[in-house]
Structure 1
Amino acid sequence: MDKRKELMSMEISAELSPANTEIEIICKGLTRFNQEACSEDKHSKTSIDLAVFVRSEEGEVIGGLTASCSCGNLRLEEMWLPEHARGNGIGKRVLTKAEQLAVENGCVQSVVSTTSFQARPFYEANGYQLVGTIDDLPVGHATFFLVKRLD
């Protein structure tokens, strides 16, 4: 089948609550594309997911951070601590562990987005600099984009 006919026969569908296996196809494809686009240096093949967990005395996960390293960048995805674990340095320790692990795996900077009702002051207190803002994301609030050099 020629490419034009193949393109004409493709179906486009929009779905709510799509299957994780189908989402993974898109994510893996984009990851491969991004890695190929990165320069051929020590950063180009680094693509890992990472997490830093805060555990109770019983070993139960009570909070922490998820992130990924790709093309020399640490992308902080989710960070959450229960109320009783905030404001006493635990968050800084969690963030520092993630940054250390990222540096060990070739990352030179860390990027994060946070909303106006979340943790911008926390990230700025830990060396992150504001590089962009989008108002009304979510509506009535703002999303901030921050970066920190790790090298």
Structure 2
Amino acid sequence: MKIEIDCNPSTADSDVLSQGIMNFNKLMIQDLEPMEAEKRFYVFARDDDGEVCGGIRATCYWNTLHIELLWLAEKARGGGAGRALIHRAEEYAREHDCANALVETTSWQAKPFYEKNGYKHMATLEGRPKGQASHYLSKTLA
């Protein structure tokens, strides 16, 4: 067996991996939501001029809201925009049958913000990135 690293694999090769894990998952749990059902979405905060001043990029799959990123411009912070973004993302997730939410944040980012919004700390990975930590939080949406 030859083991290799490929930073630019063919679509056919990468599809073999994706299809392989999807087939395995379906074999193990017949009614598991397929990855094709994944719903990527964005929630935007706009200022009075209609300019984006913050937002969330997220995905719903396997009955879980995955918050990939949340950002707010300095001028939009402290007035409830972050809380409103989270609320709207969670509302959308519930509409799409998500019962859980999951987020990763780093030591210099928003752990206290997520905790104030009902997220519970699950784990910390120290040294990610070097000299810092990544925190993993979850919330029950049901």
Q: Same fold (TM over 0.5)?
A: yes
Structure 2 unaligned residues grouped into runs of 5+: none
Matching of residue 58 in structure 1 with residue 49 in structure 2: yes
Task: State whether residues 67 and 75 of structure 1, in contact with CA within 8 Å, keep that contact through their aligned partners in structure 2.
Answer: yes
Aligned residue in 1 for 2:4: 12
Given candidates 9, 29, 46, the residue that maps to 2:18 is: 29
Q: Structure 1's 105 and 125: CA in aligned 2 closer, same or farther, altered over 3 A?
A: same
RMSD: 2.6
Cα distance, 1:14 vs structure 2: 4.0
Structure 1 unaligned residues grouped into runs of 5+: 1-6
Could you list the per-position Cα deviations for residues 72-119 of structure 1 after superposition, in whole angstroms to 9, with x for gaps in the alignment?
A: 000000100001111111100000000000000010010001011000
Q: Structure 1's 116 and 72: CA in aligned 2 closer, same or farther, altered over 3 A?
A: same
Given candidates 115, 131, 136, the residue that maps to 1:124 is: 115
Higher radius of gyration, 1 or 2: 1
CA distance in 1, matches of 2:125, 2:136: 9
CA distance in 1, matches of 2:74, 2:29: 39
Given candidates 29, 43, 58, the residue that maps to 1:67 is: 58
Q: Which segments of structure 1 move beyond 4 Å, counting only runs of 4 or more? A: none
